[in-house]
Structure 1
Amino acid sequence: MLYSQVPAHEKRRAFRERLDSGELLRLPGAFNPLSARLIERKGFDGVYISGAVLSADLGLPDIGLTTLTEVAARAAQIARMTDLPAIVDADTGFGEPMNVARTIQTLEDAGLAGCHIEDQVNPKRCGHLDGKEVVDEPTALQRIRAAVDGRRDANFLIMARTDIRAVAGLDAAIDRIRKLVEAGADAIFPEAMGDLDEFRAVTDAVDVPVLANMTEFGKSELFTTEQLRDAGIRMVIWPVSLLRMAMGAAERALDTLNDAGHLTARLDEMQHRADLYDLIDYSGYSRFDEGVFDFEIDR
C-alpha cells in the first residue's frame, strides 16, 4: 500500500551489489509511477527515467527545457512507487559545476539510485539526433568531478554519458571515456554506438560498468540482451519504449472513437479494471480503511 517500504539507501546498496556481480541488469523506461510498478512486477532489475520521456510528458521536446525541480519531482514520484532502484537522466547537470553538485544532492533526496550526466553543450539535443555538440574535455571532466564531490551517499551511482562518438568518432570516445572514469565516474553511458564491436571496444577500455541504450528509431541497432551481455555490457535501457507503445495505443483508440463512436472492438487491448486494481493494490487500501474506520462507539 502507498509507496515502497525499501529506503533509498538500501536500494542503492543492493543495486551496487548487483552491478558488482557482473550480470546484465535490465532497466526499462517508466513513463509514470504506475508503469514503474508494472516494470517491477514483470521481474526487471531496475527502472530508468528518461529525460526525453519527462520532456514529452510535459509536451516539450528533449532540448534541455526541463528544470532540475521538474525532473527531481517527477523522478521522486516514480522512484517511491517501486522497490527497484531507479536511475534518472540528469542531462548536462542543470548548470555549472556547483549546480551539478546540487543536482546530485537533490536527486539523492528524491530517492534515486543514480543518474547520468552528459557532455553535450547547452541546449542539449536528443542523443540520436544529428547536429549535436559536445563540450571540451576539461568541462566534461569538471562536471563529473563536481558530481562526485557533491555526492553524500557513496552508493549513489554517478554515470558519465558521452555523445562524442557521433561528433568525433570512436577513438575520441574511447579517450574521453577513460578520462571520465579517471575523474570518478562509476559507470559509462556511451551514446549512439554504431555496432556491437563499438560496444566491445568501450567495455574493453574501462573496468567500470557500461550501459547500452536500446532506443527505437535511433543510431544503434536494437541488439538483444544476450548479444549485449556477450559484448560485456552490464546495464541496458529501453528509455522511451513504453511511452511509445502507450501513445501508439492511445492514438489508435482515438481513431477508433472517431470512426466507430465506441471502443468495443478494442476491449481486449486494454488493461482490465481488475488488473489495474491489483497493480495499485486496491484491496490493501480497503483493508486499511476497514481497520481504521470499521468500529462502533460504545454508548
Structure 2
Amino acid sequence: MAETLRKMLATKAVLSVPGIYDGLSARLVDLAGFEAAFLSGACLSFARFGRPDLGLVSAAEVAETVAVIRERTPLPLIVDIDTGFGNALNVQRTVNTFERAGASALQMEDQLMPKRCGHMRGKQVISSGEMVGKIHAALDARHSEDTLIFARTDALGVNGFEDALERAERYLEAGADAIFVEAPTSLEQMQCIGERFGSRIPLIHNLVEGGRSPVQSARELEALNYRIALFPASLLHLLIPTAQNMLTQLRRDGHLEDLRNQMIDLSVVNELLGAEELLAKSKQYEYE
C-alpha cells in the first residue's frame, strides 16, 4: 500500500484522508470509498484512553492499533508517530515496528516531549538540526523504500513563520517525502507555503474543527498546491455529540424511542463488519 500511496501523491489531485483510531473507524472509512486513512495520535488518545493529545500514548500502543487496523482494511495508512517516541535511535525502532505492523507512511513532528496537539498553545520544538538527524534515521531504518516519511514542523506557533519555512526547507533537503507546516494562521501564509514548496514536494494540511486553519475544504487546498487534506478528528467530533445526546435521553427517559429511527440495529452492524463472510469461511473447516 505504500507504493500505491506514493503513486497517488505523484498526481496533482488532492487526497482527502479521514482520521481513524480503531478497526471500526477503519472499516467505515474503507466502505465509504476513501483512498487512504490517517491513524491520528490525537484520536487514538481520545477514543481508546479518554485522554487529551499530550503525548500520553506509547509506541507499543500505537503499533498495536496499526496492526488491528491493517487487519481490517487494505487502504494506504498514514500513521502519526508524534516525535518518533524519542531520539534518532528510538525513531529507527519506531519505523521498524510500525512498518512491520502495516504502516504505509509515517508522519513525524519536531516538537519537544511532552508534545501536544498542534493547534494548542504551549508547544516547544527541538532544533532543526536534531529533526534533520531524526529524518535521516527514519529513512535509513525503512525496510522498504516505498514506505514514506512525512516531516511536520510545529515551529510556526513557537518561533514564527520564517523559522517554519526554513525548517520545511531543511526537512525537504533531508529527504522527507512530504512536508507539513502545522497551523498556518492566514490564507497568505498558506499561499506562500504552496508557492514555495507545492511544485517540489507533496504538502499536507490539517483541517481541524475548532483549529486555526484559514481553509475548510480539500478543494481549497488543491487550489493552494497542497496534496494531502487530513481530517484527523472529524469522525470523532461528530460521534461525540451524537453519543452525548443519546446518553442524555436514555438517562432522562429510560428508553431511546425518540432516536430509534436514527439508529441501526445489530443485524446491520454484523452485515457491515462481514459476519456472514466469516461464518461462511468457518464452514470449510467443519468435519464430521
1:142 corresponds in structure 2 to 133
Mapped contact 1:178–1:205 kept (Cα < 8 A) = no
SS in 2 for 1:115: strand
1:207-238 superposed Cα distances (whole Å, 9 cap, x missing partner): 11011100111111352111111001100111
Aligned counterpart, 1:48: 38
The answer to whether the 8 A contact 1:86-1:112 is kept is: yes
The answer on 1:236 being equivalent to 2:229 is: yes
Distance 2:188 2:219 in 1: 14
* Residue 276 (structure 2) pairs with residue 283 (structure 1): yes
Per the alignment, do residues 34 and 149 of structure 1 end up closer, same or farther by CA in structure 2, a change over 3 Å counting? same
Cα distance between partner residues in 1 of 2:101 and 2:164: 31
1:282 shift after superposition: 1.5
Q: Give secondary structure in 2 for the equivalent of 1:80.
A: helix
Contact 1:199 1:233 in 2 (8 A): no
Q: How high is the TM-score relative to the length of structure 2?
A: 0.95
Q: Is contact 1:215–1:222 with CA below 8 Å preserved after alignment?
A: no
Query: RMSD over aligned Cα, in angstroms?
Result: 1.4
For 2:80, the equivalent position in structure 1 comes to 89
**Secondary structure at 1:61 match in 2:** coil
Q: Say yes or no: does 1:209 pair with 2:202.
A: yes
Q: Which residue of 2 aligns with 1:164?
A: 155
- For normalisation by structure 1, the TM-score amounts to 0.91
Partner-residue secondary structure (3-state), 1:70:
helix
* Identical pairs, percent: 36
Partner of 1:109: 100
Distance in 1 separating the partners of 2:164 and 2:88: 22
Runs of 5+ consecutive residues of structure 1 not aligned to the other structure: 1-10
Counterpart amino acid of residue 220 in structure 2: Q
Structure 1 stretch displaced more, 90-99 or 193-202? 193-202
Task: Give the secondary-structure state (helix, strand or coil) at the position aligned to 1:292.
Answer: coil
* Aligned residue number for residue 7 of structure 1: none
Give yes or no for contact 2:21–2:65 (8 Å, CA) kept in 1: no
CA distance in 2, matches of 1:195, 1:233: 15
Give the aligned partner of residue 37 of structure 1: 27
Which range moved further: 189-198 or 117-126? Answer: 189-198
Shift of 1:264: 1.2
C-alpha contact 2:185 2:212 (8 A) present in aligned 1: yes
Q: State the AA in 1 paired with 2:211.
A: G
- Which shifted more, 102-111 or 190-199? 190-199
Counterpart CA distance in 2 for 1:34 and 1:82 is 10
For 1:165 and 1:97, the matched residues in 2 are separated by: 23
Residues 260-292 of structure 1: CA distance to partner in whole angstroms, max 9, x if unpaired? 111111112223434322221111112123333
